[in-house]
Each structure stands twice: as structure tokens, then as C-alpha cells.
Chain A
Amino acid sequence: MLKVESLQVSYGKIKALHGIDFSVNQGEIVTIIGANGAGKSTTLRAISRLVPVEPGSRLSFQGQNLLDHPADKVVSQLGISHVPEGRRLFGNLTVTENLKLACFARKDAEGVARDLKRVFAIFPRLEERREQKSATLSGGEQQMLAVARAFMSGRKLMLLDEPSMGLAPLLMLRVFDALKEINQEGTAILLVEQNARLALKFAQRAYLLENGLIAAQGSTAQLMEDPQVKKAYLGG
């Protein structure tokens, strides 16, 4: 459903992505692993149209040219949601307000109410804290809210940028369980992770990104056995 071809992104004179190709199929969980600075976050930001891409890059989603859509329409029209690195909640808004804002462009009041119920069923902690300002939530709760917000805003494809960052192992598992549940309801997931072991266990297919280029790709089983991946990312 998502097809990316020769994606190039530069920050000023520095090239972050040198032309990468990858795809995500309907209902799939795909991960991009790689070291810090390999270009993982940049890739997600390019899909969300938060950073400009170089000419020649081709991005399409369900047959539509993604580059025809500004950032807010990528979410509201194409249904691609993005959980940004560091969660980036609106700390001055309550939990409910954060979730409502994510539905800003949605016109289906009934659907919104249904999704809100669903999201509180997946994350009961959020319902308990619904009137609390999101800045006062714990790290784990904040990550749950970040995922919940994405769940409310667009449901076809979810882009996740380091959701494990800063979470205790138990909470991390809780978040990934929830993501699996969301995926089983039909949302495709593109996950970017530094924690390669976790990502390879979670996803079905993987790409290894090194210095702005795809260095390896395949099923997660294949990549887990890849000597290069084993040595550099899975600790031997």
C-alpha cells in the first residue's frame, strides 16, 4: 500500500537519505532498523511530509501520489498517522483534548466516539487520567497516549518512531502488545527502532538502514540470521 522509490532528503548540504526504496503491504508490520543517525526518523518525516524531499523521489500510497498531499492531508485524507520521536504530546492539553485534537479533520462523530471507546479499552490507564494534563503523565502513559492519538487520527498505516525509547521493559511490552492488537484490526505498521532485537521480533519484514542507504532487507527471520545484522545490531 505504501511504495517508496529513490527517496532522497537533504538538510542543507548534508544528504540524509541517498535514494532508498521500500514498501509496506496491506496489514503488514515492517521495521526499519539502523544506528543513530542512519536516517530512520528522516524517512518517516518524509512520508508525513514534514521535511521536503529531493526531486526524483517517488512516494505513493494506495495508488495516490503522496507528494500531492500536504502534511495534514496525509493524515486526514490518506489515513497515515505518525507517532513522532519523543512522543511530542501537547502537554498543556488534557488526555481527552489530545485525543480530540487528533480527530480535528474527522467528520464522522459516531466513528470518533466508537474509536475513543476502543482506545480506552486498549489503554484503560488513559481513561482513568482523561482529565489530566498530558504533561503530568508518566513516560509509559505518555507513550500510550501518543499511540492512542495516532490511532484516532488515521488508521490505514501507522508510522512509529522509537516507541520503546525511555520505557521500562514491562511497559514496553505493554505498548507493543497494544500495537499488535491495533495491527490485527487492520492497521499496517511501519516501525523505526534502534532496539533491533525488539523490532525484529515484532515485525514481519525488515530493512536495515546505514548512512542513508538500505544495506539489507528481507523477512525478519532472514535478517536475524544475517551475520552483518547479528554482529552490529544484535550483539553478536
Chain B
Amino acid sequence: MTHFLQNLVNALQWGSFYALIALGYSMVYGILMLFNFAHGDIFMVGAYIGFGMASLLLALVAWGGLALPSWLILVLTILVSMFLTAIVGVIVERVAYRPLRDAPRASAAITGLMVGIILETGNLALLGASRVRFPSLIQSVTFDFGGVYVTNKKIMIVAVSISLMIALHQFVKRSKWGMAMRAMAYDYVVVPLMGVPLNTIAALTFGLGSALAAAAGILFSVAYPVLDPYMGIVFGWKAFVAAILGGRGSVLGATLAGFLLGFIEIFVAMVFPSTLRDLIAYSIILVILVFRPHGFFGEPYSARLRL
């Protein structure tokens, strides 16, 4: 039982990473009918921006100009990096995707792959091939809940992730911007007839998704502090699977599917040798998709793409 609970905690943490990244995939796909295959690399960019930000703040503290407790440095790092990564996402949309808005979807997908490669190799050119170490900002403290060990980092990661998901959900559900996003997912062509600027909503969607990916990148770096330029690839693909599993454009779906993915992976590894983990985990998902091809909350295409 304690073994099970221990794994449950780990699964929640992994699920948080997947879910945060999957949300960006899912929103962009829902609204622009576009797979942003560079999204995994946005996660990597977010982690690196976070690394830069944290290092900068720590240097300022060491130099004596600032007296910040390290938890505050972490909070600032997350917030500023989310904002900066959102700008990166907006730029990617503007430069790579907007000119292809009416092009065949395959062209846009290939563009995404290329943007991803540019981000990876750009990072390589900028910082070199050696991995960087994310500074340790919070002291690890382990709590013992009747034999289940939970670190303060894990609690923080899961709590921050879930708060962000709730915030996003509320934004999409209640704000007029969120309303425009939902309308766009339903019938993109007539949205301008409501006086809604399509490009602004598209940029907003990319910005939000990228900010969440950045949060995932930094939270991941807190748990696993070694960064390399290719860290986003596998994460990106897995989060993409979660987005599809959740259903087109569904915030709730992507969140649940992200957590489910974490659970399946961790619990498969509990029973089988870990080298078989992904093979078995993703076979399970394949079977789910055979029975629910539109995912948990997806509907057969209702959106009309033409006039």
C-alpha cells in the first residue's frame, strides 16, 4: 500500500509536467487546427530561460545588490520566464504559422518540426553542447506520511501545476478572451464577424500555451536539474499524445490525459522492467484511442473551416 501511494505521488508529479505541456498543444490545435510540433522545444526554451533568470537573480544576490530569499527567486523566475517564453511563443506564431494560416495543414506541421530544430540547434550554438545545471533554489525537505515519503519540491510542483490549470480553466470559461477562444475552436471563419481580431486570439493562444510550457520546464528543472537542448523532444511527443487523448481543444481533457499518462507510465514501471515502460504504456494508450478515436472529450469535427 505504501508502495502504491509512493508511486501515486510520483505519478502526480510526472502527470503535472505532461498536463501543463499538453494544454498548450491542445489549445493551439483546438483553435487553429494546427499541431504545433515545436511546443516540446518551447518547454526546453522555458527551462533555459528559467535557468538564465535564476542564475541572474542569484548573481545579483551574491554581488550584494539584492537581498532576496531563495523561494522568492523561484517565484520570480517562474513568473518572468512564463512571460518571456510567452513572447517566444507569440513570435513563433507570427513568424512561422501566421503566413501559413490557409496553407495545407501538412505544411504547418512540417514548419513546426523545423522551428523545433531551429530552437534546439540555436540553443546548442548559443550555449554549447554541455549540459547546464539548474541552480538549487529550495532546500529539499522530505516529509514522512506513514511510510510514504513526499518532498516539499513534489508538493510545490503539483500544487503550482494544478493552480495554473485551474487558472487557465477559469480564464477560458469566464473571460471574454476565453470566450473568443472557444468560439474560434467551434467555427473559426465567422469569428471576425463578431468584431473579434483573429490574429490577437491566435497570438494569445500561443502565448498562454508557451507560458504553461515554461512553467512545466522550470518545475521539471527543480525536480531534475540537468538541462540539455534536446530535453523537450520526448516530453513534447508524450504531451502531444496526451493532448490527442484528451480530445481536441479540451482543457479538462488535456489535463486529465496528462495525469493519466503519468499514472500509466509510473504504474507500468512498478510492475514491469523499466526498459519496457514506454512500450507497454503507449500500447495501452493506443488501445484507448482505438475505442475513443476523438479522445476523452473530443467531438467529431464540428468546426467549419470554410465559408
Dominant secondary structure at the A interface: loop
Residues of chain B lying within 8 A (CB to CB) of residue A105: 195-197
Docked-complex contact B189 and A90, CB < 8 angstroms: no
CA distance in complex: A161, B196 (Å): 20
Residues of chain A lying within 8 A (CB to CB) of residue B187: 88, 90
Pick out which of these stretches binds chain B: A57-65, A96-104, A121-129, A227-235: A96-104
Kindly supply a per-residue 1/0 record for chain A positions 64-97, scoring 1 wherever the CB is within 8 Å of any chain B CB and 0 otherwise: 0000001111011000011010001011110001
Docked-complex contact A91 and B186, CB < 8 angstroms: yes
Residues of chain A lying within 8 A (CB to CB) of residue B182: 90, 92-93
Given A88-B187, A90-B187, A92-B185, verify A48-B193 contact (CB < 8 Å).
yes
Of A50, A101, A102, most buried by chain B (CB within 10 Å of CB) is A101
Q: How far is the CB of A33 from chain B (nearest CB, A)?
A: 20
8 pairs from A and B in contact (CB 8 Å cutoff): A48-B193, A51-B307, A72-B194, A72-B197, A92-B185, A101-B176, A101-B196, A103-B195
Docked-complex contact A93 and B195, CB < 8 angstroms: no
Docked-complex contact A90 and B183, CB < 8 angstroms: yes
- Complex: chain A residue closest to B176, CB-CB: A104
Answer whether residue B192 sits at the interface, using C-beta atoms and an 8 A cutoff.
Answer: yes
CA distance in complex: A75, B187 (Å): 17
Residues of chain B lying within 8 A (CB to CB) of residue A84: 190, 193, 307
Interface size on B, residues (CB 8 A): 20
Given A50-B307, A84-B190, verify A76-B195 contact (CB < 8 Å).
yes
Q: How far is the CB of B275 from chain A (nearest CB, A)?
A: 43
Docked-complex contact A50 and B185, CB < 8 angstroms: no
Q: How far is the CB of A50 from chain B (nearest CB, A)?
A: 6
Interface size on A, residues (CB 8 A): 31
Residues of chain A lying within 8 A (CB to CB) of residue B179: 93, 97, 100-101
Dominant secondary structure at the B interface: helix
Residues of chain A lying within 8 A (CB to CB) of residue B302: 91-92
Answer whether residue B198 sits at the interface, using C-beta atoms and an 8 A cutoff.
Answer: yes
Residues of chain A lying within 8 A (CB to CB) of residue B186: 90-93
Residues of chain A lying within 8 A (CB to CB) of residue B304: 88
Answer whether residue B216 sits at the interface, using C-beta atoms and an 8 A cutoff.
Answer: no
Answer whether residue A205 sits at the interface, using C-beta atoms and an 8 A cutoff.
Answer: no
Q: How far is the CB of A42 from chain B (nearest CB, A)?
A: 9
CA distance in complex: A41, B180 (Å): 25
Cβ-closest 8 pairs across A and B: A71-B192, A76-B195, A75-B195, A105-B195, A90-B183, A72-B192, A88-B190, A72-B197
Of A45, A50, A71, A82, most buried by chain B (CB within 10 Å of CB) is A71
Answer whether residue A106 sits at the interface, using C-beta atoms and an 8 A cutoff.
Answer: yes
Kindly supply a per-residue 1/0 record for chain B positions 74-86, scoring 1 wherever the CB is within 8 Å of any chain A CB and 0 otherwise: 0000000000000
Docked-complex contact A72 and B195, CB < 8 angstroms: yes
Docked-complex contact B193 and A71, CB < 8 angstroms: yes
CA distance in complex: A41, B182 (Å): 26
Contacting residues of chain A (184-203) with chain B, CB-CB under 8 angstroms: none
Q: How far is the CB of B299 from chain A (nearest CB, A)?
A: 9
Docked-complex contact B195 and A153, CB < 8 angstroms: yes
Answer whether residue A156 sits at the interface, using C-beta atoms and an 8 A cutoff.
Answer: no
CA distance in complex: A104, B196 (Å): 6
Residues of chain A lying within 8 A (CB to CB) of residue B307: 41, 45, 50-51, 84
Residues of chain A lying within 8 A (CB to CB) of residue B193: 48, 50, 71, 75, 81-82, 84, 88, 153
